[in-house]
């Protein structure tokens, strides 16, 4: 089955700086790579996703890149704001999602 590794487990950045979270996956059949944001006590919510026929996707301050050859994908958040503080999960799938262990992003004022 699929195995997703996510790094780092905790990331602290100054407000206004950029944050990068990286994931690798093992199953070359995976073709959909979503990123979810989960605030404390809340449900995971999709913030951006990318499919295997695309190398990069951007939505305002958030971007995701995918390297299918190397089997890794990354989340980039620019101009970080306090409300970006949360746990971020990457996932990979052909059907059911396999999640990474999560990155706790802390935005320092």
Q: Is 58 in the site for other proteins (CB under 8 A)?
A: no
Say how far apart CA 35 and CA 54 lie, in whole Å: 15
Which of 1, 40, 69, 70 touches other proteins by CB under 8 A?
1
How many Å from the N-terminal Cα to the C-terminal Cα in the chain?
41
| Shortest Å, Cβ 67 to other proteins | 18
Q: Is 61 in the site for other proteins (CB under 8 A)?
A: no
Q: Is 102 in the site for other proteins (CB under 8 A)?
A: yes
Q: Is 22 in the site for other proteins (CB under 8 A)?
A: no
Under 8 Å CB-to-CB from 24, ≥6 apart: which residues?
Answer: 4, 5, 70, 71, 72
C-alpha gyration radius of the chain: 13
Q: Which helix (H) or strand (E) holds 100?
A: none
| Shortest Å, Cβ 83 to other proteins | 19
Say how far apart CA 61 and CA 40 lie, in whole Å: 22
| Shortest Å, Cβ 35 to other proteins | 11
Q: Is 73 in the site for other proteins (CB under 8 A)?
A: no
Q: Residue numbers of the site for other proteins (CB under 8 A)?
A: 1, 31-32, 34, 42-46, 49, 51, 89, 93-102
């Amino acid at each position: 089955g699929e195995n997703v590794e996510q790094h780092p487990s905790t990331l602290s950045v100054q407000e206004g700086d950029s944050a990068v979270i990286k994931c690798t996956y093992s199953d070359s059949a995976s073709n959909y790579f979503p990123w979810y944001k989960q605030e404390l006590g809340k449900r995971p919510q999709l913030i951006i996703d990318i499919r295997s026929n695309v190398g990069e996707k951007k939505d305002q301050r958030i971007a995701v890149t995918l390297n299918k050859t190397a089997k890794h994908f990354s989340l980039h958040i620019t101009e970080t704001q306090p409300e970006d503080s949360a746990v971020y999960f990457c996932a990979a799938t052909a059907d059911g999602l396999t999640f990474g262990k999560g990155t706790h992003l802390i935005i320092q004022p």
